[in-house]
Structure 1
């Protein structure tokens, strides 16, 4: 029986341990935190968006960081397989807007508990509060792991599933990158992905907490369009966040690193042509013709946003509506459909939902997740240079990589 060590009890690590054990291996799961699945507990705002119900090609497209590398893994363990696995463990699932898949209970804890229960069923040894320090190698093959405390665990196979470098309080402190480098692997520079953005403009502080729905945001790099998203966003004391901001943040961080000028062009009324928007404004002005300009936009905009919009349009908020000229009205239309925010930086990597960068996928076998440099060494999950948009894509990637690594490592251990 092969001895397999899995380092990291996140989604990829737990799935790898489960599949390795199901395929006859003796498995020990090492976790530096007190309990497994700490980061999973907070995903999806504590609801755990386990996958996405889109077709496989769409899932791969939404794994913006090296999704093609995962083509084989995701086809081996699909989104339907993920749902079947959890439903087999008593966790019913449901599909929500954007094809996001959640547990019916809306509790991430149920997802984690299901995986831990399955690990116990398979007699996987779970060693918590054990921090791996070095992967031991002899003659080009893995032979074990040395921990920070000095304890050595012998193994035929080591699966590194230590996560990224975001949310370090959950245990994701980048240990896997260091261990991979020690063994000769290339670590693609780390960047925050799915992270809020800080703006130069100070007025956003005055609208902190304001959420907007059905808006469109274009990402501009040196004044040229680079990406676009439609959906929800929110203003914060430092800038902007929300689903569409997080989706744009990976591209934003890439260009910010290159010292480009990065801006967001916000269209507050993307469903309307300029002509129809002007007709809508004229209708509201007819209703509020005896009011001032700031009171004539109450049906069109959230109260907090009226002042900034009038300011951008160079319009006096106290001006009587019946005195507003056609030229001023055109200026208001243009402003409503393009509010430009300058991005000065992302929030820190520690606050990112996902880490972009990691162990180069060029050095990992996509069909097995085994290292191309060291026999018996496997990588799964966010430690590899793989990351996706919000919507369940990152957990799908982790589960698929863990599945493949678990099965392949059990089989390789038998042949070792």
Structure 2
């Protein structure tokens, strides 16, 4: 019976643990936090977007970095396998807009509990790994902060990236990989809130917008467009739409990007003009600043009126056709300039990580150190939002667990 140590008890680590244990191996999971799967608990706003109901090829198309590396892993453990696994563990699933898959209960804890059940029989150790050791080109075990040494025939590093360090993702996996000769592509934020240049968003802090269209332009050219939900913060914008958009924005030339929000995507400009005209007739004796309350959330009205550029005290029945057309354009193209991305610790996913050039794509085993494996976000692979990143974690975790358990 082989001794396998898995460093990190997140989605990838627990999937790897259960997979290896089912091959008859003795598995120990060392988790930095007091509980496993802490990041799983906060994904999908606590609902857990567990995967995407699509094929392996679609997952690869939605993987930003090194999609070809994932070919074998995703075909061995595609989304259908993920869904079958969790339903066999007693978690009914449902598919929502964008083929996103969630537990029917809308409770991320059900996914975390299922992973714990899948890894039943594995030893769970709460502690900090200080070193992954190797001799003569093969791993020998891991050292813990309390001085203990866990001998191992195989070690799977599944420590995550740098995002949400409160959940245990502290970047230790990068340090372990480098100490054993691996190249680490510098980690950076991916799927992260965006910081506004100016203070427009601050005036609407806490305001959520649903069913709006967010367009990202670079030097006037469209690079992203999607409809959904977003929220204004004291520093900028966040929410599902923004996180998705952030993956298309390069930090290096942030000044070249502009966000454009279509606040009324269901209405054409002509229909919106008619709607505004009707509202202005309804409130003909009101001031301009009090005439658009039916169109917008209250906290957004002063911002729109200021952008509109007309005298806020002007009577609605005196507003010209050109001014109404100007308001239509503003509501269909509310723009924000960007100052940058939020810090990597606030990112949903970390881009960068262990270079996949030094990892066997079929087994996730190191090409440099025998018995050393990697799984999940610690690798230089990341995808867009929609359940794709968890699927990458499960697929690489399964590959590592299978190979280490042989």
The whole-number CA distance in structure 1 between the counterparts of 2:176 and 2:285 is 70
Corresponding residue for residue 216 of structure 2: 219
Residue 189 of structure 1: SS of its match in structure 2? strand
Q: 1:214 to 1:68 in 2, by over 3 A?
A: farther
2:187 to 183, 186, 190: 190
1:220–1:265: 8 Å Cα contact kept in structure 2? yes
Cα distance in structure 1, aligned partners of 2:269 and 2:90: 52
Deviation track 1:378-404 (CA, whole Å, cap 9, x = no partner) reads: 110010112222222111111111011
* Structure 2 partner of 1:151: 148
Q: Are positions 1:268 and 2:266 aligned together?
A: no
Contact 2:63 2:388 in 1 (8 A): yes
Of stretches 362-371 and 162-171 in structure 1, the one that deviates more from structure 2 is 362-371
Does the aligned pair in 2 maintain the 1:219–1:248 contact within 8 Å? yes
Q: Which whole-Å deviations, capped at 9, do the CAs of 1:236-280 have from their partners, x for residues lacking one?
A: 11111111101011232xx22346433212221233333332222
Alpha-carbon distance in 1 for matches of 2:156, 2:181: 16
| Counterpart secondary structure, 1:397 | helix
Instruction: Report the Cα offset of residue 223 of structure 1.
Output: 4.2
- Matching of residues 14-413 of structure 1 within 5 Å: 14-120=14-120, 123-128=121-126, 130-252=127-249, 255-258=250-253, 260-411=255-406
**Structure 2: gaps of 5 or more residues:** none
Contact 2:191–2:385, Cα closer than 8 Å, also in 1: yes
Range with bigger deviation, 378-387 or 218-227: 218-227
Q: Deviations over 1:315-342 (max 9, x none)?
A: 2222112211122122212211222211
Please give the alpha-carbon distance, in whole angstroms, between the structure 2 residues aligned to 1:297 and 1:33. Answer: 50
Tell whether the 8 Å contact from 2:55 to 2:78 is kept in structure 1 after alignment.
Answer: no
SS in 1 for 2:378: coil
Does the CA-based 8 Å contact 2:254-2:338 persist in structure 1?
no
* Contact 1:307/1:317 (<8 A) preserved: no
The separation in 1 between residues aligned to 2:177 and 2:67, in whole angstroms, is: 21
Deviation at 1:178, TM superposition (A): 0.6
In structure 2, the residue corresponding to 1:146 is in which secondary structure?
A: strand
Secondary structure at 1:230 match in 2: strand
TM norm structure 1? 0.92
The answer on whether the counterparts of 1:5 and 1:157 sit within 8 Å (CA) in structure 2 is yes
- C-alpha root-mean-square deviation of aligned residues, in Å? 1.8
Secondary structure at the aligned position of 2:248 is classed as: helix
TM (norm. structure 2) is 0.95
Q: Deviations over 1:179-199 (max 9, x none)?
A: 111122111111112211111
- Asked whether the equivalents of residues 93 and 103 of structure 2 are also in contact (C-alpha less than 8 Å), the reply is yes
Change (3 A) 1:126 1:230: same
Structure 2 match to 1:414: none
How many pairs align? 406
Asked if the contact 1:267–1:338 (Cα under 8 Å) also holds between the matched residues in 2, the reply is: yes
> Residue deviations 1:270-299, cap 9 Å, x none?
333333322222232233223222232222
In the alignment, the residues of structure 1 paired with residue 57 and residue 312 of structure 2 have an alpha-carbon distance, to the nearest angstrom, of 50
Q: Point out the more displaced range, 277-286 or 6-15.
A: 277-286
Q: Answer whether contact 2:49 2:100 (CA < 8 A) is retained.
A: yes
